Amino acid sequence: MAQPLDGLTAIVTGAGRGLGRAEARELARLGANVVVNDFGQPGRDGSGEASAAPAEETAAEIRAAGGRAVAHLGDVADFEQAEALVRRAVDTYGQLDILVNNAGILRDRMIFSMSEDEWDSVIRVHLKGHFNTTHFAATHWRTRSKAAGGPVYGRIVNTSSEAFLAGSAGQPNYAAAKGGIVGLTTSTALALAKYGVTANVICPRARTRMTEDVFAGIPAHGTDGTAAQGRPDPLAPEHVSPLVGYLASPAAAGVNGQLLVVHGGMVAIAERPRIAAKFDTAKDTFSHQELDDLLTPYFAERPPGETFAAAEVLGLKHG
């Protein structure tokens, strides 16, 4: 039976564990050839025996299930290694059709306690990592489109976070990186549309090794004890991966430049910012007094503590 992604080739970064692994397995289940990327190297298991790198483990799982996958061990935040990743997909399967950027790290700290390295490392892995792979994938699709004389098939699914939408106080580096990824995605969506490529961004909520401390206080079941009834953890990565599979598929050709929040059996489409109010100077330029007269009363009437952050997104749930 034909699958939606038959004959297509996908890269999933950070796919050795957690969300990336679930996404890679879903794309393979839908028929795609998958290049599984992760920075993790081979190690030792509990008995001291050599163990495979996480990316190789994921690729092996996919092959054992009847799919097609190869591993790539590399740092997507390194420009040359990101180029090698795209080249691995093209050399192995002939071309690249789908890019899922998921790789990331956390270095949580309040802004007044954060070190320069904690800032730089998170920005590097998340934001630069997304740029690097997108750059080389976009170059590949542009070249193919020019050779074909028209659009080609291309899908980008980037990973942002509710930390960007809600303004996570203890994650200034992470929130900034994830906000940057949204800007990168909307810019890419406009730039690549004429080549047949779409770019969308998801804000997933999932329990993974990276987020185990973040969600430590949330039980792996609903408040009604649904886990005991065989229902999955509402923060299981498997709630997110079907959306990635959809956005990577031909069915999503009309979805471009969008931001979607996904977790626990729910998908929410975020609306772009809209202008709440507009003020014009009565003169050639604003004076301090005129701005005081206009803006101070306006903000005094707004709800206390309301900012540009959309904290209400944290209250979204299935049902």
The C-alpha angle with vertex 139 and arms to 133 and 145, in degrees rounded to 5, equals 135
What is the predicted pLDDT for the residue at 40? 74
Place of tokens 């800007």: 183
What is the predicted pLDDT for the residue at 61? 98
Question: Measured between alpha carbons, how far is 96 from 141 in angstroms, rounded to an integer?
Answer: 8
DSSP 260: E
Whole-structure pTM value: 0.89
Please say whether the beta carbons of 96 and 143 come within 8 A.
no
What is the predicted pLDDT for the residue at 157? 98
Backbone angles phi, psi at 70, to 5 degrees: -130, 160
What is the predicted pLDDT for the residue at 58? 98
- Which residues lie across from 35 on neighbouring strands? 11, 70
Catalytic residue list: 161, 174, 178
The C-alpha angle with vertex 216 and arms to 11 and 306, in degrees rounded to 5, equals 85
What is the predicted pLDDT for the residue at 283? 94
Alpha-helix residue ranges (DSSP H) falling in the chain: 18-29, 54-64, 79-93, 116-123, 129-148, 162-166, 172-192, 241-247, 288-300
What is the predicted pLDDT for the residue at 226? 43
What is the predicted pLDDT for the residue at 14? 96
What is the predicted pLDDT for the residue at 227? 46
Please say whether the beta carbons of 242 and 204 come within 8 A.
no
Which of 183, 179, 178, 201 lies closest to 260, judged by CA?
A: 201
Please say whether the beta carbons of 68 and 59 come within 8 A.
no
What is the predicted pLDDT for the residue at 305? 86
Please say whether the beta carbons of 182 and 160 come within 8 A.
yes
* Interacting residues of 134 by C-beta distance below 8 A, sequence separation 6+: 99, 101, 156, 158, 184, 188, 199
Residues of the chain with pLDDT under 50: 211-217, 222-228
Burial class of residue 315 (count of CB atoms within 10 Å of its CB; 0-12, 13-18, 19+): exposed
What is the predicted pLDDT for the residue at 203? 97
